[in-house]
Amino acid sequence: MDEVSLNSEPVYDDEAEEFEIDGDCAMTEYVGEAGVLQGENPLPPAVGMEFETYEDVYYFYNCYAKQQGFGVRVSNTWYRKSRERYRGKLSCSSAGFKKKSEANRPRPETRTGCPAMIKFRLMENRRWRVIEVELEHNHLLCQTSGKFYKSHRNIGPGSKRPLQIDGPEEVQKIRLFRTVIIDTEDSGNVNIDEGEFGNNVEQFNNQLKLKKGDAQSLHKFFSHPQLINPNFFYVMDLNEKGCLRNVFWADARSRATYGYFGDVVLIDNSCLTSQYEVPLIIFTGVNHHGQSVPLGCGLIAGETVESYIWLFRAWLTYVIGRPPQAIITDVDKSLQTALSEVFPRSAHFLSLTCILEKVQDELGELSEYQAIMAALTRSVYHSVRAVEFEAAWEDMVERHGIRYHKWLQLLYEDRKRWVPVYLKETFLAGIFPMKESERLSSPFEGYLSNNTSLEEFLGNYDQALNEINQRELLADMESRNPCGMSKSTFYFELQVSKLYTNNIFMKFQEEVVGMYACFNTRQTSMDGSVLNYLVKEHAEIEDNRRETREYEVTYNTSDAEILCACGLFSFKGYLCRHALCVLNQNGLEEIPPQYILSRWRKDIHRSYAFDYGCNGIDINNPLHRYDNLYKCITKVVEEGKKSRDRYKFTLQALEEILNKVRLEEDHQLV
C-alpha cells in the first residue's frame, strides 16, 4: 500500500528533563464510549492525524491492526518528570526480537523485526498528533488470525473500556475521527479571520481567499452533515498562522461509487484555470450510464505543488489508499509534479479538451490561427496510426512556420499522453474524447459558473448531489425496459440490449449500425490461430464528407481475442464496428464474454443507496419513494439471510406486508 501521509514533520529531540519507558508496556485504558472510532474499515494511519487522547491513538491503531491482520505493542512511551506522557510509539507485535534465553528448551523466535509502527506526540493544542508512520510489514498478514493477538482480546474487569472488535456488530462501530485537522506547522485552531484573507494570497498562495460570509458557510457546511451523515469526511490544512489553506471533503456514497467506477478518474481543476470565484477541484468518475459523478471535492489556496500534494494525499486517504488505474488532468506543471509524487503507479494522461482550449491562448495572435487550429484538430482526431499523426503534425508546423514555437514543442514532446493514437493500451471509460464533439460534463454543471460565490455553491451543494443521484436512479429505472426497436439483424445488438444500461447500449448500437458502412472485410495473413484482417469503411469526416479508411483487425480464434487499430474498446469499453465485422465473418453470433464489461451492466446490484442529504425525501417524487423503500427493504434482506429461521420469518413477514399494501390500495379504490 502506498504511504498516504498528508504532510511531513521532522521528529524533534526531546527535552533533557524527560525520560522514556522502553519495552512492552501494558495498556489498560481505552477510549470512552463517546470515542471517535466508529464505523467499518478504519483508514490507514497518516502523518498529521490528531486525536483527543493517548488512548484514542492506541484504539485507532489497534482497530486498523485488527482489520489488516496484525497485533500491536506499545514499544515506547516518553514521560515528563511530572509523569505526564508526551510521546509514544506503537509497533507491530512482530517488531524487534526476543531476548536470548539460557533455558534448556527456549521458546522459538516468533518476531521478525517488523518495521511497521506509528509515532505520535502531544502538541500545544493538547491533542495527540501522529508524526511518523511506517505501513509496510516484513511478514505476511492474515486477517483471520487477528483474534489470536493479545491486543485484540477483551480487557478484563477494571478497565475503562473493553476493546471489543471481534464481532461484526462491533466492527461497524469503528470510525475514524471525523474532524481531523491537518496542520503542518503545529497550529491547532482553525483561525478563520475573514479580514485577513486575500492580503497575501496572490503572492504566496498560502491561504484561501474568503469573502464576507464564506467562513460561516464553511462552518455550517462541514458541521451540519456530520449530524445526519456520520460517514461525511473532511480534512483541513492550516498555514503557519492558523488560517485555512486547503480543504477536502466527500461523503460515504462517493467512496462506494469509487469502488465500482474508480478505474479512471478525471481531476478537474478548470475552476482555477478559468479564474472562477470558487477555487474548486473535483475528482470525477463515470458511472454505468456514462454519467459524470463526483468522487470528492477540494478547495485549494493556489496552484502550487504543495497544495496539490496535500489534496491528492487527502483524497488517497479517503479512498483507503487505492489509486485509480488511470488519471486524466490538465497540463499544469505543479499539478503534474504532485501527481507523479502521490500516484506513481497510475497511468497519467493529459486532458485533450483542456489542451485544445488553450490553443487560442497560445496561438490566437498568429495570423494563420484558424488554419493552424483546423490542421491540429484533423491531426488529432482523424489519425488512426501514430505515423499518420506525426506526418500531419510535421506538415502543419512546416506549412505555417511554427516549428520552433515553444509551447507546441513541449506539447509534441508530451504527445504520448494526450494524442488518441498513443492511448490505445489503457482503458479510459469514455472520459477521453475520440471525436471533436465529445465532452464530459462536470457533475456540478448548472451549479457552478465564473461568478458563483463559495457561499452560493455550498448552499446548493446538497441539491446538486440530489440531482446527480436522481439522474442515476432515473437511468436505472429506464434501463429495466428494452431500449427502443432493433436497428439491425445482428444478434450482437439483442445480446447487449439485455446486459448494458440504455445509455451505453445506444452508443454500442451506433457501432452495430456502422457495420453497414464497412465493406470488403478480407483476411490478409494468418499465423497459427492468429488471423489478420483489413476492414474498409466509408467513414464520415468533417463537413459531412465521407472518405474510405482501412482498419487493421487482429483476431485469435483460440481464445476469441480481438484487437482493432481504431482502439474504440480501450476508449469506450465496447467493441467497434470493425471488430464486429470480423467476428460476424468468423461465424460468431455473440460477443465474447471478456468484452462485456461489468462496469456497464444493468443487472449488477451496486450496494450504495441514494443519499438524500440534509433535506429528507419528497414523498411526491416517485424516485424518492422508490429508492427510500428499496433502501429499507435491503436492510430487511440483509437480516433475513443470516439464518434459516430468520429467512422463513422474513419471507412470511414480507408476504403479510404485501397483502396489507394491496388491501390498502383496494380500500382507496373503493
The answer to whether 587 touches 581, Cβ cutoff 8 Å, is no
Q: Which of 195-199, 527-531, 574-578 has the lowest mean pLDDT?
A: 195-199
For residue range 327-369, list pLDDT tens digits in order. 999 999 999 999 999 999 999 999 999 999 999 889 999 999 9
Cα Dmax for the chain: 93
pLDDT band at 618 (very low <50, low <70, confident <90, very high): low
For residue range 67-98, list pLDDT tens digits in order. 888 889 898 888 888 888 999 999 998 888 77
pLDDT band at 320 (very low <50, low <70, confident <90, very high): confident
Which of 101-115, 558-572, 647-661 has maximum average pLDDT? Answer: 558-572
Report whether pLDDT(577) > 90: yes
Sign (positive or negative) of CA dihedral 474, 479, 480, 485: positive
For residue range 240-254, list pLDDT tens digits in order. 777 889 999 998 788
For residue range 268-299, list pLDDT tens digits in order. 999 988 889 999 999 999 999 999 999 999 99
Task: Give mean pLDDT, residues 548-565.
Answer: 95
pLDDT band at 12 (very low <50, low <70, confident <90, very high): very low
The answer to whether 535 touches 581, Cβ cutoff 8 Å, is yes
Tell me the β-bridge partners of 85. Answer: 79
What's the confidence (pLDDT) of residue 222? 84
Taking each helix axis from N to C end, the angle separating 622-640 and 454-478, rounded to the nearest 10 degrees, works out to 70
- Round to whole Å and give the CA distance between 269 and 272: 6
For residue range 296-313, list pLDDT tens digits in order. 999 999 999 999 999 999
Which of 53-62, 118-127, 539-548, 569-578 has maximum average pLDDT? Answer: 569-578
pLDDT band at 468 (very low <50, low <70, confident <90, very high): very high
| Cut 0.85: pTM above it | no
The answer to whether 501 touches 474, Cβ cutoff 8 Å, is no
